[in-house]
Amino acid sequence: MKINFGLMVSGLLLGVLLAACATAEPTPTPVPQRMPQRPPTITPGPPTERVRLRAVVYGQVQGVGFRSYVAREAKSLGLVGYVCKHREGMIECVAEGERQKAERLLELLHVGPPNAVVEKVDFEWREATGYFEEFLEAEWCPPLEW
């Protein structure tokens, strides 16, 4: 009878390896840090050109003071328009004013107040209409239509 020592050693090593894996504690997978979404690159235009920014902010943005934050920042930038919340959980902002100031507000929408978690910001640029006289913080938005 021939004994294949190579096969015996291989089987022994495999058994030891399996036993070690079964008793080893699993290595925790590092949790990636949530980074805010990078603000978009803005199409260049005259900084004093009057524009309308319409943005919808997704994530944990209700119940964290997001509308108050937007209204405060928009007013401090001299913008007019409104901010409101949707029943589906997002915040909508329409702001008119100088392009440079509206671009700054868009950057701030990507960050939000301290307890907010911004996942995504959809936005569009249009010509200013001159419809608004001040910046308002409204409770509920009409149904979302793009």
pLDDT tens digits for range 76-103: 999 999 999 999 999 999 999 999 999 9
User: What tens digit of pLDDT does each residue of 29-43 get?
Assistant: 443 333 444 445 455
Asked, for residue 89, whether it belongs to a domain, the answer is: yes
Instruction: Report the chain's terminal Cα–Cα distance, integer Å.
Output: 82
- Classify residue 135: in a domain, yes or no: yes
What is the number of structural domains in the chain? 1
State how far the Cα of 141 lies from the Cα of 55, in Å rounded to an integer: 13
CATH of the domain at 115: 3.30.70.100
Q: Which residues contact 61 (CB under 8 A, 6 or more apart)?
A: 89, 90, 91, 112, 116, 117, 118
SS3 content of the chain, % helix, strand, coil (to 5): 30, 30, 45
| 109 within domain boundaries | yes
Task: Answer yes or no: are the C-beta atoms of 79 and 27 closer than 8 Å.
Answer: no
137 or 24, which is more confident?
137
User: In which domain, by residue range, is 103 found?
Assistant: 50-140
Domain contains 1: no
Ramachandran region of residue 86, left (φ > 0), alpha (ψ -120 to 50) or beta? beta
Nearest 5°: the CA angle 106, 108, 113 is: 140
* Domain-embedded: residue 36: no
Tokens of 24: 């080893």
Strands 50-60 and 117-127, sheet pairing: antiparallel
| Residue 2 resides in a domain | no
Q: Is residue 75 part of a domain?
A: yes
In a domain, 15, yes or no: no
What pTM did the predictor assign? 0.68
